[in-house]
Structure 1
Amino acid sequence: MDKEPAQIKTQASGPPVFLFVGRWDANKGPLTVLRAFGRYATEQPDARLYMVYQTEALLEDINKLVQSEPALQKAVVLVGSVPHQVMEDWYNSADFIISASHYEGSGVAVCEAMSCGCIPILSDIPSFRAMTGEGSCGFLYPPGNPEALLALLLHTKTINREQEKEKTLRQFRKELSSGAIAAKIEAIIAE
């Protein structure tokens, strides 16, 4: 799906559009994302961060942080829980997917986002290194480090987004798509 029809459905605006998808708990690092994004938004006032979340464990802390920073008040949209069948619209609305997880088994939301061409900005953990081909697409930063995330957010202003999107889609097709996974399983079985 193209970005424009998706953004009509989600009412997402930017550019650029960033997306965070995940539970609001310490492992997922939403406060790290917000601390970095607040500073980024002061330099990139049109940028938007949409946060899709399933649990509200840190909701009070997140609301306090957003309300304490005018840049976050303008730039952050707390979407809440979204039915899985409409997540494709959110992924197609976004330019970037952000994750601040300290650990992940697989990173399903990141995989789905990459399938739609969202450029990943991810914490540098084993599962995300594998998903991005050791960082051959997207950007990795140390978990829990809002300064490093801020540096990457600022760097996104200088990249060719279309080229990065293509690198992301190639990585998805080569390593993460159902066809790529099936080929790997077949190769293991054939051994």
Structure 2
Amino acid sequence: MTRLLVECTHVFLHPKVNSGIQRVVRNVINQLPDSVQGVECIAVVMLKGKLYRVLQLGALGIPFFDGLMTFGGRLERLAHRFWQLHQRLDERCTSKIARRALYVAYRLTALACFSVPLRLIERVNQYQLPKRCSPLPHQPGDQLVLLDSSWHSDFFPFAEQLKRDGVGIVAVIYDLIPLTHPQFYDARLVQVFNGWFDWITRTADGYMAISATVRDQVREQLQQRLGPANAESLWFDYFHLGSELDLREANATVEPRLTRVFETPEPVFLMVSTIEPRKNHDYLLDAFERAWACGSTARLCIAGHIGWKCDALLARVRNHPQLNQRLFMFNDLSDTSLEHAYSHASALVFPSWVEGFGLPLVEAMQRGLPAMGSDIPIFREIGGEFMAYFDLAEPQRLADLIIAFERTGQFPAARDVAQWQWIGWREASAQLVERTLRNVGQTPAVQERQHANCP
């Protein structure tokens, strides 16, 4: 019997990280059905050339180990920022001697402050493995679904061996932005992602995207790389993501500074995303500055972890004359606080240049919060007539929407967000399984619940 092996290695090793892909992986795995049409579904990880069944995806709840894991995650993020700093300094160096000295200093510092401590933490964490996973022999006919962010993983040779042993490989594609818009990322990440996509192009038997928009982009890329005839032998499909914030805690308190943002009668526009270039925060600030200049009293609340290539933006926010008056920024909100923001904001604003899905849109609209977004294909796919759209060529377009909504109280979308419907994480997980199995020929088409805008 074919089994569906859904891979979640990175989230298993870093259960405290809660960015977009990690949120997707965690929710899909937690809602994974035991079986579909007689096909067993198993959450798996690949560690040091071996396959394991996941017994517990999250941390064990033992303070020492959980604290060590949290510290390790923070240390990894700090190491990445240190590497980014080295990259920026290296680009500014014109002397070969200076660049060499900078590289040696970087390597020695990284070894002492990051590499050695992280290796020690990894060894200690090995003691948790028997309680969180167990060995799982693979079988010919198994289908391995690479759900997690695998471009920085070290299991490529093992995955290739599984394929030689008769295991099918299915790649979940979140977006192709590092390929199509490399200017938004560090050169090293672009290089790593390109290497991964080259590998997945050679390795995968099928591709499951998180939107119809990305599915079409993946098919086009494969046709260019492999030729139409070879691409025709592969399959391409998509599933949509859910919307629940699964890390909310009943007894957790909302960030006090956040509650004060919503205590005044002025409308609050919420932006939720990592702080990085393609999210287009500069356009957002330009638009609100124009609205404020016209007399708007609207507030802008920016929520999101600090990402990359955002030093100038952060300086602009921190030095802004409206900071903590009409402009607010939060970089480490819990799910409980984020839920409060979604529940009390007047509208979501999302001016991204490009997205693979746009999870905050679904999270907001599912809670009845109307959304304004850039006029890009994926937002049209998700929001349809229930969203208001603006042109990224001119910030005044968004400013006009803000002012009109503030003055009239009428949200400028063709249809009321209260009529909009979407699937939850349980249905999203089932969609992934059912559509994957349908494409590998294991089950007949299953009647699925369609949300309001599903093609």
For the aligned pair, the TM-score class normalised by the smaller chain equals 0.7 to 0.9
Aligned equivalents of 1:15 and 1:167: distance in 2?
22
2:316 to 36, 45, 64: 64
Specify the SS of the correspondent of 2:261: coil
Could you state the TM-score of these two structures normalised by the residue count of structure 1?
A: 0.76
1:177 corresponds to 2:434: no
Report the CA distance between 1:86 and its aligned residue. Answer: 2.7
1:119 CA displacement: 1.3
The superposition leaves residues 16-44 of structure 1 with CA deviations (integer Å, 9 ceiling, x where unpaired) of 11001111211100010011011212334
Counterpart CA distance in 1 for 2:373 and 2:328 is 20
Q: How does 1:1-191 map to 2 (within 5 A)?
A: 10-13=259-262, 14-57=265-308, 58-64=310-316, 67=319, 70-71=321-322, 74-133=325-384, 136-143=385-392, 145-161=394-410, 167-171=416-420, 173=421, 176-178=422-424, 185=431, 189-190=446-447
What's the Cα RMSD here? 3.3
Shift of 1:162: 7.8
Cα deviation, residue 84, structure 1:
2.4
Residue of structure 1 in register with 2:218 after alignment: none
Distance 1:156 1:93 in 2: 16
Contact 1:34 1:72 in 2 (8 A): no
Gaps of 5+ in 1: 1-5
Counterpart Cα distance in 1 of 2:344 and 2:295: 18
Measured against aligned partners, the alpha-carbon deviations of 1:101-121 in whole angstroms (never above 9, x if no partner) come to: 111111111111112222111
Q: Is the 8 A contact 2:278 2:352 kept in 1?
A: yes
Between the aligned partners of 1:162 and 1:125, the Cα distance in structure 2 is: 19
Q: Pick closer, same or farther for the CA change 1:59–1:49 going to 2, 3 Å.
A: farther
For 2:285 and 2:336, how far apart are their aligned partners in 1? Answer: 26
Give the match for residue 3 of structure 1: none
Is residue 279–residue 352 contact of structure 2 (8 Å, CA) maintained in 1? yes
The code of the aligned residue for 2:276 comes to D
Scaled by the length of structure 2, the TM-score of the pair is: 0.35
3-state SS of 1:189 partner: coil
How far residue 63 of structure 1 moved from its aligned partner, in angstroms, is 2.8
Cα 1:82/1:105, change in 2 over 3 Å: same
Q: Structure 1 residues 25, 72: closer, same or farther in 2, change over 3 A?
A: same
In the TM superposition, what is the alpha-carbon distance from 1:93 to its structure 2 partner?
1.4
In 1, Cα distance between the equivalents of 2:416 and 2:296?
A: 27
Q: Which has the larger radius of gyration?
A: 2
Q: What does the per-residue CA deviation read over 1:126-177, in whole Å, with 9 as the maximum and x for residues that have no partner?
A: 11112221xx22310123531221122222134444897x811311x2xx23
- After TM superposition, the runs of 4+ consecutive aligned structure 1 residues lying more than 4 A away are 6-9, 161-164, 184-188
Shift in CA distance, 81/161, structure 1 to aligned 2, threshold 3 Å:
farther
- 8 A contact 1:103–1:125 mirrored in 2: yes
> Aligned equivalents of 1:149 and 1:126: distance in 2?
18
Give 2:319's aligned amino acid.
Answer: Q
State the structure with bigger RCO (CA 8 A, min sep 6), 1 or 2. 1
Secondary structure (helix, strand or coil) at the match of 2:392 reads: coil
Q: Is the 8 A contact 1:42 1:71 kept in 2?
A: no
Q: CA 1:7/1:177 → structure 2, altered by over 3 Å: closer, same or farther?
A: farther
Q: Verify the 8 A CA contact 1:31 1:62 in the aligned structure 2.
A: no
Query: 2-side partners of 1:116 and 1:128: how far apart?
Result: 17
Distance apart, 1:64 and its partner CA: 2.4
Distance 1:71 1:12 in 2: 13
| Larger relative helix fraction | 1
Number of residue-to-residue matches in the alignment: 178
Matched residue SS, 1:116: coil
